[in-house]
């Protein structure tokens, strides 16, 4: 009897281990994809609308760019900025954003920013979201934003953008991201 229980226990343990090792990670729900978007948006805005804050006390000039020390208590170095980016974007997208925009530099271990945020599009209205699972490792988050006419009351068109949300070795990350307003 003991041998039967032992064999049953070993079989059950083996099946459980195999299920854990070979189980595919859960697919995010629509709510989780939207939450991920809301987490990624402020990080993207560091390079678009809302650069990291500075008090202007320390500045560095590099060519035609003037950089000021970043005062965000959570992001004090390029490594910390990169970590925040890699938490929501794929490494390829993080690299592309960092290299295409020379907004941030690190001097002597301190992060500096050339604050050059743009204004929000005043013609952009409400945005709706649609989540579509394309494959086991790719989800499309589609946004549709109202665009108002000159009167800022009449919707004249809708601007649609797709964001690729992909499964990586580090979890789900955005492979594409851009401003919608």
- Does the pLDDT at position 24 exceed 80? no
Under a CB-based contact definition with an 8 Å cutoff, are residues 69 and 100 in contact? no
| Residues with Cβ within 8 Å of residue 42, at least 6 apart in sequence | 50
- Alpha-carbon span 142 to 28, nearest angstrom: 15
pLDDT in tens, 36-51: 999 999 999 999 889 9
- Does the pLDDT at position 100 exceed 80? yes
Name residue 143's beta-bridge partners.
Answer: 129, 161
Q: How far is CA 88 from CA 64, 68, 105, 165, 172, in A?
A: 31, 25, 21, 10, 8
Q: What is the residue whose two structure tokens read 């020390």?
A: 69
Best-predicted range by mean pLDDT among 96-100, 122-126, 131-135, 174-178? 174-178
pLDDT at 22: 29
Under a CB-based contact definition with an 8 Å cutoff, are residues 117 and 139 in contact? no
pLDDT at 25: 53
pLDDT at 27: 82
| DSSP code at position 52 | P
| DSSP code at position 170 | T
- Does the pLDDT at position 55 exceed 80? yes
Mean pLDDT for the chain overall: 85
Both structure tokens of 55: 């008090």
Q: What is the residue whose two structure tokens read 């390079």?
A: 47
């Amino acid at each position: 009897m003991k041998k039967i229980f032992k064999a049953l226990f070993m079989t059950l343990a083996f099946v459980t281990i195999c299920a854990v090792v070979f189980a595919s990670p859960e697919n995010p729900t629509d709510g989780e994809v939207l939450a991920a978007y809301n987490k990624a948006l402020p990080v993207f805005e560091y390079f678009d609308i809302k650069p990291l804050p500075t008090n202007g006390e320390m500045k560095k000039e590099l060519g035609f760019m003037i950089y000021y020390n970043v005062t965000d208590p959570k992001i004090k170095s390029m490594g910390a900025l990169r970590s925040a980016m890699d938490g929501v974007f794929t490494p390829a997208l993080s690299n592309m954003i960092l290299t295409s925009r020379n907004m941030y530099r690190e001097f002597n271990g301190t992060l500096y920013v050339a604050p050059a945020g743009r204004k929000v599009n005043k013609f952009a209205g409400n945005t709706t979201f649609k989540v579509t699972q394309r494959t086991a490792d790719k989800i499309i988050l589609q946004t549709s934003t109202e665009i108002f006419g000159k009167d800022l009351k009449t919707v004249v068109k809708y601007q649609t953008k797709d964001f690729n949300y992909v499964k990586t070795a580090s979890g789900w990350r955005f492979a594409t991201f851009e401003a919608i307003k």
